[in-house]
């Protein structure tokens, strides 16, 4: 079985050259993949837009209709951060369709794992609002679809920004676990330690807010001491990685200190819990580094590691954070 890639030039239709989330992001990623020693082993797959009806299982009618209507216009804006281009209703559904196809192929055994080199991103899109560069929530829509098969899904979000949308969608559910490491305080202002879910979902949302300058060492401790043990107890049937490369230490919108190789190392840790794993692209805006971060992940997925010469100085002051997360979760998981 191979590592599959979901990518389409159709994603270029969603583009604003003056915005950090523009079409050049995928161009540099694909060019970096082509240089990787495992490129010929990757399987670039065909996929289709998700059916419209699937959107209504996750997002509100008013939110969906807003994107549909704006997609009939020339470039327009939902808010000061989030733009919509002509045909974006179809482009965004195609992006989600790529992630859905990967998940189906991995669960059926047609692929070992996969990554969606897709845009627009999704993790800030809530049930009823497109925001933060995101139109529809790709990871959440796919996770919800997988749960219809009586399967459990783990979503691990490594973007520098908290995935408020993904958390919002699953906050009261126990069939999807959301784990997030993120800079705090930072946009969008959510993701506190005390945010652990509601009702049946209590204990199934895990947040590790990090301080400016935290990096590989700090996050490794959070994963090893909390996130991975809880994930092992949850026993997911599929893991979705919301892969934001803006947590790299050179990202202009970041503030964390991840090195390039660390992105692959995190994937390797989660593969030990559940090898059925797919990634979906979220943020990441340094065009010199985002492709290398992706290659680090794909190298681990394809078992052909690629190491980059990249270092960063970090602060590892996470003792109190770890202690407080354990206190919040002690009634739900063995830690």
Catalytic residues: 124
**DSSP single-letter state for residue 257:** B
DSSP output for 189-253: ----TT---SGGGTTSEEEEEE-TT-BHHHHHHHIIIIIHHHHHHH--SEEEEEE-GGGBTT-TT
Taking each helix axis from N to C end, the angle separating 61-70 and 88-108, rounded to the nearest 10 degrees, works out to 120
| 266 touches 134 (CB < 8 A) | no
| 141 touches 261 (CB < 8 A) | no
100: phi then psi, degrees, rounded to nearest 5: -65, -45
Taking each helix axis from N to C end, the angle separating 138-147 and 88-108, rounded to the nearest 10 degrees, works out to 40
Q: How far apart, in whole angstroms, are the C-alpha atoms of residue 122 and residue 139?
A: 7
């Amino acid at each position: 079985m191979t590592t599959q890639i979901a990518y389409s030039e159709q994603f270029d239709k969603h583009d604003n050259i003056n915005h950090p989330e523009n079409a050049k992001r995928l161009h540099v990623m694909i060019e970096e993949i082509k240089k990787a020693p495992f490129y010929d082993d990757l399987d670039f797959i065909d996929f289709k837009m998700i059916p419209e009806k699937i959107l209504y299982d996750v997002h509100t009618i008013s939110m969906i209709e807003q994107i549909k209507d704006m997609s009939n216009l020339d470039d327009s804006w939902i808010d000061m951060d989030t733009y919509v281009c002509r045909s974006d209703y179809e482009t965004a559904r195609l992006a989600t369709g790529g992630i859905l196809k990967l998940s189906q192929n991995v669960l059926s055994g047609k692929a070992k794992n996969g990554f969606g080199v897709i845009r627009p991103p999704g993790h800030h899109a809530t049930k009823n609002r497109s925001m933060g560069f995101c139109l529809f929530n790709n990871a959440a829509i796919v996770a919800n679809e997988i749960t219809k098969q009586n399967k459990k899904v783990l979503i691990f979000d490594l973007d520098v920004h908290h995935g408020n949308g993904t958390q919002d969608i699953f906050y009261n559910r126990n069939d999807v676990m959301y784990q997030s490491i993120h800079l705090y305080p930072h946009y969008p202002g959510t993701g506190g330690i005390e945010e652990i879910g509601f009702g049946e979902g209590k204990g199934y949302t895990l947040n590790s807010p990090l301080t400016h300058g935290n990096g590989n060492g700090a996050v490794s401790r959070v994963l090893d001491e909390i996130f991975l043990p809880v994930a092992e107890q949850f026993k997911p049937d599929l893991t979705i990685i919301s892969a934001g490369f803006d947590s790299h230490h050179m990202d202009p919108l970041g503030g964390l200190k991840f090195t390039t190789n660390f992105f692959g190392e995190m994937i390797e840790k989660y593969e030990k819990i559940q090898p059925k794993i797919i990634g979906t692209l979220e943020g990441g805006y340094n065009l010199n580094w985002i492709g290398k971060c992706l290659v680090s992940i794909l190298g681990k997925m394809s078992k052909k590691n690629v190491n980059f010469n990249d270092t960063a100085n970090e602060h590892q002051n996470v003792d109190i954070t770890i202690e407080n997360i354990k206190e919040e979760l002690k009634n739900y998981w063995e830690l």
